[in-house]
Amino acid sequence: MHLYYLKVGTIEANPHHIVNLIHYEDAASLSVEILKKELRSRLFLGCDNHPVSRQEVMDLVAKSGKFDQTFVGFTVTAGTDGLLGKKLNNSRTREEIGWEPKYTSFAHFLGVAS
């Protein structure tokens, strides 16, 4: 998401929309742990438990200083100002599987966590 946003510069979307993230390495390790436990016909939720808005994602990207491109901003027009998403939490999955993510948040992944 953020690399595309940087490339385009301006995105027609609501900056307050909530996104739930998980690093691909964490998604893979969670999947492996579920497979090792041979759990079948069950659903488990994978996320980092730190939902952020689109604007917060781009603010963290800018704060990281890891990219040369500059994100200009969001433009909200009719059709892009609807539901703001859901804040998800996978504590139950973590407890049942005995799994924790390597990257505890998007900010942690970028190296800008406080």
Query: What distance in Å separates the CA atoms of residue 52 and residue 105, rounded to the nearest whole number?
Result: 9
For the stretch 13-28, pLDDT in tens is 889 999 999 999 999 9
Task: Answer with the residue of higher pLDDT: 83 or 100.
Answer: 100
Helices (H), 21-82: 24-36, 54-64
pTM for the model: 0.84
DSSP three-state, residue 10: strand
Rounded to 5°, angle at Cα 20 from 14 and 24:
125
Query: Is it the case that residue 77 has pLDDT exceeding 70?
Result: no
Q: Collapse the DSSP code of 17 into the 3-class scheme (helix H, G, I; strand E, B; otherwise coil) and give the result.
A: coil
Please indicate whether residue 86 or residue 7 has the higher confidence score (pLDDT): 86
1 or 59, greater pLDDT: 59
Write down the domain spans for the chain: 16-64+82-110
